[in-house]
Amino acid sequence: MTFANVRQLRTYAVNNSLFRPRTLKAAIKHLGFVQADPIRSPARAQDLILRHRVKDYRAGDLERQYSKLDVEEDLLYAYGFLSRENWRLLHPRQNARLSKSEKLVLHLASEQGEIHPRDLRPHLGDERALNAWGGYSKVSTRILEDLHYRGLLRIVRREDGIKLYGPVEKVEQALDPTVRLKKLVLLIASILSPLPESSLRSAVNHLAHAAPTLPGRLTIVKQLIQEGALEQGKIDGVNYVWTEALKTLDEAPPVVRIVAPFDPLVWDRKRFEHLWNWVYRFEAYTPPPKRRLGYYAMPLLWKDDVIGWANVSAKSGIFDIETGYVIGKPKERAFRVSLDDEVSRMKFFLGYS
């Protein structure tokens, strides 16, 4: 498949990302990875991403059904949820020797089946240590997170948002490291396609932490292009790469969608600005006086065009939505009807209907 212009890229991007809704398990398997974020405004990012891709999805369904799904929480190009098949590609990460405290935690996890961080207080106390972000965390929490990163513990569920950890079967890795790296890069590309080549390379750089034992990250994109696993083309002077996921370029449906700031469709800001010709910024961490769009403004998609943004509030039993537009609100009746439908879907998702 080749693309003649930006409009075709947009159509491909929308149709590649926003597939027909299916079951939760099937959607996660199809996506391969769902980015997570703890901010709830009006819901967590993972729920906002899944609601477009899972039939009759409600906020919190992923957390409620997590133990029944073949998924793991872990890192890819960001933190999120991976199908177990893809999660195995990341491990083993390292084989450093275990400390006495780490051995104790693994023993308790095996004995109890799951561990809440407070369960470690009688054994490790409340001692704190400097974390990677310059703050302080309990030593027990740091040990749990490190053992999880090393693939020695898994997150079995959450309780009021707190991670509970349990034992995990050791990953007996049969695949060659080069094969694993190729699969991971193609996974990232399939989620985000079509993508500027520079953006894909940046995303792949995150594998330095997510899959540190895999060599060849600096050359793998070029290699996959040469092998034909990734296709390549230049549009408006921008080098794009994509996977051959779709065979046709059907028009994007005349539907309004409010998408999460971390949705694969809008994840790469360089692509966003090229495809839709305006600057979208996530402003949750921007000082209020400097915000232009809103604390958790979400891109507003109409057909294949991101025409503005929406701020949704659902507090104290009151649902409210405000929209803003880059150029102006579309005047056609089809847009008004579809926007009303999307608001109804959002209310259902949040439990307001």
DSSP 84-152: HHHHHTT-----PPPPHHHHHHHHHHHHHS-B-GGGGHHHHTT-EEE-TTSSEEEHHHHHHHHHHHTTS
Q: What is the pLDDT of residue 136?
A: 46
Q: What is the pLDDT of residue 248?
A: 64
Which 8-state DSSP code applies to residue 250?
P
Q: What is the pLDDT of residue 122?
A: 83
List the structure tokens of 207.
């594998």
Among 343, 326, 191, which Cα is nearest to 264's? 191
Q: What is the pLDDT of residue 205?
A: 96
What would the CATH number be for the domain defined by 100-167? 1.10.10
* Rounded Cα distance, 147 and 134, in Å: 20
What are the tens digits of pLDDT across the range 322-345? Answer: 999 999 999 999 999 999 999 999
Q: What is the pLDDT of residue 137?
A: 59
* Rounded Cα distance, 244 and 229, in Å: 8
Mean pLDDT by 10 residues, the chain (353 residues): 88 93 96 95 97 97 94 96 95 87 93 92 72 61 93 92 90 87 97 96 96 95 96 94 76 94 97 97 95 97 98 89 96 97 97 86
Kindly compute the dihedral angle of the four CA atoms of residues 93, 95, 97, 103, in this order, to the nearest 10 degrees: 60
- pTM beyond 0.75, yes or no: yes
Q: What is the pLDDT of residue 96?
A: 79
Identify whether the C-beta of residue 295 lies closer than 8 Å to the C-beta of residue 309.
no
Other beta carbons less than 10 A from residue 325's beta carbon: 12
Q: What is the pLDDT of residue 126?
A: 66
List the structure tokens of 45.
């990012």
Domain layout of the chain by residue ranges: 100-167, 256-350
Which 8-state DSSP code applies to residue 63?
H
Q: What is the pLDDT of residue 124?
A: 82
Q: What is the pLDDT of residue 131?
A: 53
Q: What is the pLDDT of residue 132?
A: 52
Burial class (CB in 10 A: 0-12, 13-18, 19+), 74: buried
